[in-house]
Amino acid sequence: MNQQLRIAVLVTDIADVSIEERHGDMHAMFQYAFYQASLNHNRKKHRKQDKVETVLDRFDVVSQPPQYPSKHDLVTGKYQGVIITGSTRAAYDDLPWIHTLMRFIQDLQHQPNKSTFSPYGLSHDMARFKVPLIGVCFGHQIIARALGGICEPNPNGWEFGPTLVQLTEHGKRYLQSGNRTAMRLNQFHSDHVPYLPPGFIRLATTEPHTSIQAMISTDGRCLTSQGHPEIPCAATAAYLDLLRPHVPLDLQRDASYRLETLTQHMDSAWFADRFLQFFLGRLPPPTFATLDLSGQDEQVVPSLASL
């Protein structure tokens, strides 16, 4: 019997009707990405018990009343993970549903005592999060804000379309990238996380544009990404059409060209597989022990804990 991996997907946007009709909403895109990742995973497994079936349940956290998985379902193991999707809203917006979502993220943490907590988070041998958590784009930003970090407009403006994201040394080790030193993912954002929240390690960057493109908590149970492994180029082009009034004309042209020419050169499937392996618990522990906590490690951008 295949192992079942059930994931709660917290949808943080009201889908544009024309995009949803052609490409589905954020939940549908994640559902397809994990379906493809599980197919590729299962092809490599010979024993049936090593194969996996993914089930993604949709929760609308924007509508009133918002939908969330119950605490009972989270603590009893019904869900092996939670995903927070992207959104056209800003993570720094002062909206009731955003504050509710931040409280949910905070409640996913175990409460540390003084012996296990440092300015850099929980000690690396203690689980900080009750259930594995992934955040993408808005999800990346709202997790940072909820856990003591900052989200703000990026002074460098938009990143849009296929973008080459460089892996840090920690990112290469944690994501088991082999000879891969970068990944090309679709992006569409004008906000960023300028500092690591306490207890996180940087995994990827597009410096000098966006310093923190991906990060992992030191307990290895919260992974975030600014880029989208779940959104294909066709859907990204649809979002570009939707957001054209807000995107500079030269970037529109450049993004359109990349979306037309780089469709066959994306690393979305590889990164979606990393998400799957994260939820299966098959990525290695983060290299917390190798961090230079004096702030000199070149792979660690400033943390709010050190400012």
Decide which of 212 and 46 is more confident.
212
Is the pLDDT at 115 greater than 80? The verdict is no
The per-residue pLDDT for range 11-40, each reduced to its tens digit, is 999 889 999 999 999 999 999 999 999 999
Question: The whole model's pTM is what?
Answer: 0.90
Percentage with pLDDT > 90 across the chain: 81
Range of the structural domain that residue 246 is part of: 3-306
- For the domain that residue 283 is a member of, what is the CATH number? 3.40.50.880
The per-residue pLDDT for range 189-247, each reduced to its tens digit, is 999 999 999 999 999 999 999 999 999 999 999 999 999 999 999 999 999 999 999 99
Structure tokens at 164: 């080459």
pLDDT at 128: 86
pLDDT at 117: 41
C-alpha triplet 116, 146, 78: angle, nearest 5°? 75
The per-residue pLDDT for range 141-160, each reduced to its tens digit, is 999 999 999 999 999 999 99
What is the torsional sign of CA 5, 182, 266, 189? positive
Lowest mean pLDDT among 188-202, 274-288, 293-307: 293-307
Does residue 236 contact residue 161 with C-beta atoms inside 8 Å?
Answer: yes
> Taking Cα atoms as reference points, which of 214, 207, 202, 179 lies closest to residue 287?
202
Query: In angstroms, rounded to a whole number, what is the distance separating the alpha carbons of residues 157 and 210?
Result: 9
Structure tokens at 21: 């009709």
Query: In angstroms, rounded to a whole number, what is the distance separating the alpha carbons of residues 108 and 176?
Result: 26
The per-residue pLDDT for range 156-185, each reduced to its tens digit, is 999 999 999 999 999 999 999 999 999 999
pLDDT at 20: 93
Q: Kindly indicate the confidence band of residue 126, based on its pLDDT and cuts at 50, 70 and 90.
A: low
Q: Kindly indicate the confidence band of residue 6, based on its pLDDT and cuts at 50, 70 and 90.
A: very high
**Strand order, beta sheet including 133-136:** 52-60, 3-11, 81-84, 133-136, 222-225, 210-217, 200-206, 159-167, 182-189
pLDDT at 98: 97
Count of domains for the chain: 1
Secondary structure E strands in 198-267: 200-206, 210-217, 222-225
